[in-house]
Structure 1
Amino acid sequence: MRTRTPQSQAGREVADRVWTVPNVISALRLLLVPVFGVLILNEQDVAALVVLVVAGASDWFDGVIARRFNQTSRLGQLLDPAADRLYIFVTLVGLAWRDLVPWWLVLVIVARDVVLAGLLPILTRHGYGPLPVHLAGKAGTFALMYAFPLLLLAGVPGTVGTLAWTFGWASAWWGVGLYWFAALLYVEQVVRIVRQDRGRTRS
């Protein structure tokens, strides 16, 4: 059975290509994850921030290339969000390990990804691949990735640290809210897919 996606059903086929420029960029971004983890755990904050900025810029860049040159692929749809989630997870663990954020924030964000992982077997059983990344999910990821550098700067004494703490936590709360809002949208999509397939079976 061919794997279906909402994109292919809408008439926009997603290619099975592997060796595309966006996929190579995403793979390189994944390779930087352990480097970033080591830097943040060893409190090499300036270098960690540089890696985080490079990762964020490459995330935007590979998306532009994929859309402009029609290089969207199934592998890219897996690598891109996987890299985003790994950076978020590693950053959160590093910040929590250094007591810069509470561990409950780690659990709240990881729980969301556990919920989404639980949807994949259901989609597979109904012949669907991973759902396209929703704009709310992208916005939540962006807000979280924006919050982390600010939370790292929160340790700087004086006005800079105070402002970084304030804006960092504001971005973090927005990110968590959008992250979970996107998760609820994915759950609603999966429920709709299951109902539609059951309706076809009955008819």
Structure 2
Amino acid sequence: MGSGNRPPEVADGPTEPIVTDRILTVPNVLSVVRLIGVPIFVYLLLVPHADGWALAILMLSGFTDWADGKLARLLNQTSKLGGLLDPLVDRLYVVSTLIAFAMRDIIPWWVAAILIGRDLVLACTLPIYRRRGLPPPTVLYLGKAATFALMFALPLVLAAQGDWAFAPYGRAWGYALLAWGTGLYVWTGLLYLLAARNVARTVPLVPRPDAAARDAGTPEAESP
């Protein structure tokens, strides 16, 4: 009863979140806090070797990454800035963590190079989609699983550097998840490359506005 007074979209279920131009939102504040934490995390890890504090910041970053997405939907505060800022901070954390771990010899350099190089190569395929008026490829489930494994592996590997009873277990699980996540990351990278190749071969380019205007020029413009 009473549902007849509501708009059909409300009665049938939740609507898609509205993306706004707002800057000062709770999710954006959390993203900025995470962004500030990047240089602090690198400093703690490389200069005083304060691994405990660095681990706390890394875990806090993971929690706020989860929280800002939830709050954006819950508070209806999805914004264009948040759509750009959140993945940017994610990439900065991943890249800085991998480089710092390699500099501390926590992980081999070749592992960091593979993981960072995979993202750089896939970034080069994005113009293929843009030139055809297509959105970026849908995130694969295996890609989410790879990221999930890596996000758990890195804190465990860092925690295993300490001298406590948990360290041997953290080292075993951390490096196992790191190997599994790296393998999945590379495999999904190959799948994304194949998808980009298929799009490049089968989907025609979208004419650019200036080129379309030249091709469809008016008689007045073509006459001397």
**Structure-2-length-normalised TM-score:** 0.71
> Aligned Cα RMSD in Å?
2.9
Q: CA deviation at 1:150?
A: 1.7
Aligned counterpart in structure 2 of residue 116 of structure 1, from 118, 122, 134: 122
Offset from partner CA, 1:148-176 (integer Å, 9 cap, x none): 22212333347532212110111112221
Aligned counterpart in structure 2 of residue 50 of structure 1, from 56, 61, 68: 56
Aligned counterpart in structure 2 of residue 164 of structure 1, from 165, 170, 175: 170
Does structure 1 conserve the Cα–Cα contact (< 8 Å) formed by 2:133 and 2:206? no
Distance in 1 (CA, whole Å) between partners of 2:16 and 2:139 is: 15
Is residue 1 of structure 2 the alignment partner of residue 15 of structure 1? no
**Tell me, which stretches of 5 or more residues in structure 1 are unaligned?**
1-10
Structure 1 residues 1-203: aligned runs within 5 Å: 15=19, 17-19=21-23, 20-42=25-47, 43-128=49-134, 130-131=136-137, 133-157=139-163, 160-191=166-197, 193-194=199-200, 197-198=203-204
Offset from partner CA, 1:37-75 (integer Å, 9 cap, x none): 111112111110111111000000011122334443444
Q: CA deviation at 1:190?
A: 3.5
* Equivalent position amino acid for 1:63 in 2: G
Larger Rg: 2
Q: CA deviation at 1:136?
A: 3.5
Instruction: Report how many residues are paired.
Output: 191
Q: CA deviation at 1:117?
A: 1.3
**Tell me, which stretches of 5 or more residues in structure 2 are unaligned?**
1-14, 208-224
Q: CA deviation at 1:128?
A: 4.1
Distance in 2 (CA, whole Å) between partners of 1:116 and 1:44 is: 34
Does structure 2 conserve the Cα–Cα contact (< 8 Å) formed by 1:22 and 1:66? yes
Structure that is richer in helix per residue: 1
Q: CA deviation at 1:179?
A: 2.4
**Structure-1-length-normalised TM-score:** 0.78
Change (3 A) 1:144 1:21: same
Q: Sequence identity of aligned pairs in percent?
A: 43
Does structure 2 conserve the Cα–Cα contact (< 8 Å) formed by 1:84 and 1:141? no
* Greater relative CO (CA pairs within 8 A, separation 6+): 1
